[in-house]
Amino acid sequence: MTDMALIGWSRAQFALTACYHWVFVPLTLGLAVIMAVMETVYVARGDEFWKRTARFWQKIFGINFAVGIATGIILEFEFGTNWSNYSWFVGDIFGAPLAIEGIFAFFMEATFVAVMFFGWNKVGRRFHLASTWLTGIGATVSAFWILVANGWMQHPVGMEFNPDTVRHEMTDFWAVVSNPVAVSKFFHSVLSGWMTGAVVVIGISCWYLLKKRDVRFARASIRVASAVGIAGTLAVMFTGDSSAVHVAKYQPMKLAAAEGLLDGGQKAPFSIVPGVEIPGMLSILATHDVNGHVPGINDLLDGYTAPDGTEVLSAEEKMARGRMALEAFRNYRETAESDPEAASEWRRVLEDNVGYFGYGYIEDRQELVPSVPMVYWPFRIMVGLGCFLLLLMILVLWFERKNRIERMRWLQWTSLLSIPLVYIAGQAGWIVAEVGRQPWAIQDLLPVNAAVSSLDKGAVMTTFFIFVAVFTLFLLIEIRIVTRAIRKGPEAAPEASDAAAQVE
Of 428-467, which residues contact other proteins (CB under 8 A)? 449-450, 453-455, 459, 462-463, 466
Q: Does residue 10 interact with other proteins by CB under 8 A?
A: no
Instruction: Fill in the amino acid letter for 179.
Output: N
> Which of positions 312-341 make contact with other proteins (CB under 8 A)?
315-317, 319-320, 322-323, 326-327, 329-330, 333
Dist. CA 196–CA 422, nearest whole Å: 6
> Which of positions 257-276 make contact with other proteins (CB under 8 A)?
260, 262, 274
DSSP 451-500: HS----HHHHHHHHHHHHHHHHHHHHHHHHHHHHHHHH-SPPPHHHHHHH
Dist. CA 193–CA 282, nearest whole Å: 26
Per-residue contact flags (x/-) with other proteins for residues 153 to 172, judged by CB under 8 A: ----------xxxxx-----
Find the shortest distance in angstroms from Cβ 57 to other proteins: 14
Dist. CA 124–CA 73, nearest whole Å: 34
Q: Does residue 73 interact with other proteins by CB under 8 A?
A: yes
> Which of positions 116-155 make contact with other proteins (CB under 8 A)?
117-119, 122-123
Q: Does residue 384 interact with other proteins by CB under 8 A?
A: no
Dist. CA 279–CA 271, nearest whole Å: 9
> Which of positions 78-107 make contact with other proteins (CB under 8 A)?
78, 80-81, 84-85, 88-89
Find the shortest distance in angstroms from Cβ 411 to other proteins: 30
* Site size toward other proteins, by CB under 8 A: 77
The alpha-carbon radius of gyration of the chain (Å, integer) is 25
Applying CB under 8 A, among 49, 104, 413, 474 the residue interacting with other proteins is: 474
Find the shortest distance in angstroms from Cβ 463 to other proteins: 5
> Which of positions 180-239 make contact with other proteins (CB under 8 A)?
none
Instruction: Fill in the amino acid letter for 462.
Output: T
Q: SS3 of 281, please?
A: helix
Q: Does residue 62 interact with other proteins by CB under 8 A?
A: yes
Please give the angle made by the CA atoms of 422, 141 and 442, to the nearest 5 degrees.
80
Dist. CA 436–CA 258, nearest whole Å: 7
Q: Does residue 383 interact with other proteins by CB under 8 A?
A: no
Q: SS3 of 38, please?
A: helix
Q: Does residue 178 interact with other proteins by CB under 8 A?
A: no
DSSP 137-168: HHHHHHHHHHHHHHHHHHS--SEEEETTTTEE
**CB nearer other proteins, residue 13 or residue 184:** 13
